[in-house]
Amino acid sequence: MSRVVKATAIRRPTFAMAALGLSVLVAGCVPAFREGDDLEPGPVTAPGPAVDPEGDRQVGGDGMVLVFVPDGPFLMGSRDDDPQSSLAERPQREIHLDGYWIDQTEVTNAMYAVFLNDMGNQREAGVRWLTPSKARVHRPLLGAWRISPGFERHPVSGVTWFGARAYCEWSGRRLPTEAEWEKAARGTDGRTYPWGEGVLCDMAHVEPCVSARGTAPVGSYPSDASPYGALDMAGNVAEWVADWYLDDIYAEMPDRNPRNEVGSAVKVVRGGSWSDDARAARAAARGSAVVGATSTAVGFRCALSPSD
């Protein structure tokens, strides 16, 4: 499988990340740590095909459970009269997506450590895939990548967009599009949160509801479940998706399977996190960050089309 390395300039995003609680993202975070595996990005090897297909769920070769989102239309974006929404979420559109699979949870530290031990912590666009100072995955001198004890099932954080994409390709999947992420999170009916409306604390791992700052094991909040069974779409860590970010894309995007491939620096980040407020946890909320940025509050999940 060949991969394309985008030579992008890293700059501050054009969108007001702070409004969505993503101010912790830092542009161009080049990790200041010693590396012995300064490899050029090369062929990506997958751990194997998805196995054990069973109805609307299957298990990937990396152990991730995937849930199925059926073909059909859904309401994407926010109504003009929604006081919580931003202009970038409007106009609300009926968008049709072909059926696809999406990871039930965010990719975990345990999964990402396997990937790093296979591929190394490579650079793309001058930035390492993972910034250990913002992650619970680290590597001692001459040792293998390992996980801070107790954090094996927490979502990986501190990864660049490139590091997220590389993992999904390695695992035989891909990053979801922005539209796929939103449909997986809220279903077809335009609901505010994955579970419906109202009451955020105790429903999802979001600030200021969490007493201990930081991530939680994936799937710790059964109430943070979408109509398709995708978990932690409102909270835990926010998530990179495939699309480049544009403020005004909703009025122009096509009705079927939209995917914005136009851009050079800023990618879409979706969902709330342990450091985000209720507004950012809405399924329609749009965040963004430069592709080489890393954060303790941003991770990712992958997707898969039947035709992939």
Using CB under 5 A as the criterion, which residues of the chain lie in contact with Ca ion when the complex forms?
A: 232, 236, 271
To the nearest whole angstrom, how small is the minimum distance from the Cβ of residue 224 to Ca ion?
Answer: 8
To the nearest whole angstrom, how small is the minimum distance from the Cβ of residue 51 to Ca ion?
Answer: 25
* Of 215, 25, 35, nearest in space to 119 by CA: 35
DSSP code per residue over 254-307: -SBS------SSEEEEES--TT--HHHHSTT-EEEEETT-B-TTEEE--EE-TT
C-beta of 44 vs 159, nearer to Ca ion? 159
To the nearest whole angstrom, how small is the minimum distance from the Cβ of residue 50 to Ca ion?
Answer: 22
To the nearest whole angstrom, how small is the minimum distance from the Cβ of residue 156 to Ca ion?
Answer: 12
Is the distance from CB of 235 to CB of 271 less than 8 angstroms?
A: yes
End-to-end CA distance of the chain: give it in Å, rounded: 13
To the nearest whole angstrom, how small is the minimum distance from the Cβ of residue 270 to Ca ion?
Answer: 8
C-beta of 62 vs 232, nearer to Ca ion? 232
C-beta of 12 vs 279, nearer to Ca ion? 279
To the nearest whole angstrom, how small is the minimum distance from the Cβ of residue 237 to Ca ion?
Answer: 5
Quick one: how many helices (H) and strands (E) in the chain?
4, 15
C-beta of 10 vs 164, nearer to Ca ion? 164
For residue 165, give the H/E element and its range: helix 161-170
CA distance 26 to 41: 23
Is the distance from CB of 164 to CB of 237 less than 8 angstroms?
A: no
DSSP code per residue over 224-255: SB-TT--BSSSSSSEEEEEEEP-TT-TTTS-S
| HSE-CB for 192 with a 13 A CA cutoff | 12
To the nearest whole angstrom, how small is the minimum distance from the Cβ of residue 233 to Ca ion?
Answer: 6
C-beta of 123 vs 165, nearer to Ca ion? 165
To the nearest whole angstrom, how small is the minimum distance from the Cβ of residue 232 to Ca ion?
Answer: 4
C-beta of 30 vs 199, nearer to Ca ion? 199
C-beta of 124 vs 180, nearer to Ca ion? 180
Determine how many CB atoms are found less than 10 A away from the CB of residue 211. Answer: 5
SS3 114: helix
C-beta of 219 vs 263, nearer to Ca ion? 219
DSSP at 190: T
DSSP at 20: G
CA distance 251 to 6: 27
Report CA 112 to chain centroid distance, whole Å.
13
